Amino acid sequence: MEKDYGKEVDIWAVGVIWGELLYTLEQNCPNPKKRRCMFPGRHCFPLSPDVMAEIDDAGIPLSQRNDQLDLIFNVIGTPTEEELSFVTDSKALTYLRRYAAKPAANLREKYPEGSDDALRILRSMLKFNPFDRPSVD
């Protein structure tokens, strides 16, 4: 989306690792063979587009299989216009606005044995808008 990355992207990364660690708890995933990474996408416009995806006249994919953002939005919900406010690239905004609105997932269902604090911290680190994430301070 944006080309300038700050410390906020590190908070996202810690959130993903935190979510994956929560999922390794036996109570959250009893079968170790079913444990997977949190967002196992293969493609994401514009950095790694699906070369097989249909492209519109503006050069934006209409849909992509195994799309990273789709997997993320299944957990955090699709961003609101307010949450998109930091995105300045018009192609990225067009692409993001193509996603059907969906609510954030219930983390309690994914992590039934996660403490309220653990899930609150996870949700705070996985905010779409990087400026809405907690800081390391």
pLDDT in tens, 14-72: 999 999 999 998 888 888 888 888 888 766 655 555 556 666 666 666 565 567 888 89
DSSP per position, the chain: --S---HHHHHHHHHHHHHHHHHHSTTT-S-GGG---S----BBTTTB--TTS-B-TTS-BS--TTBHHHHHHHHH-PPPTTTTTT---HHHHHHHHTSPP-PPP-HHHH-TT--HHHHHHHHHHT-SSGGGSPP--
pLDDT in tens, 112-131: 999 999 999 999 999 999 99
Q: Name the residue range of residue 94's domain.
A: 7-127
Give domain status of residue 135, yes or no.
no
Count the domains in the chain: 1
Give domain status of residue 1, yes or no.
no
Give the CATH number for residue 97.
1.10.510.10
Give domain status of residue 132, yes or no.
no
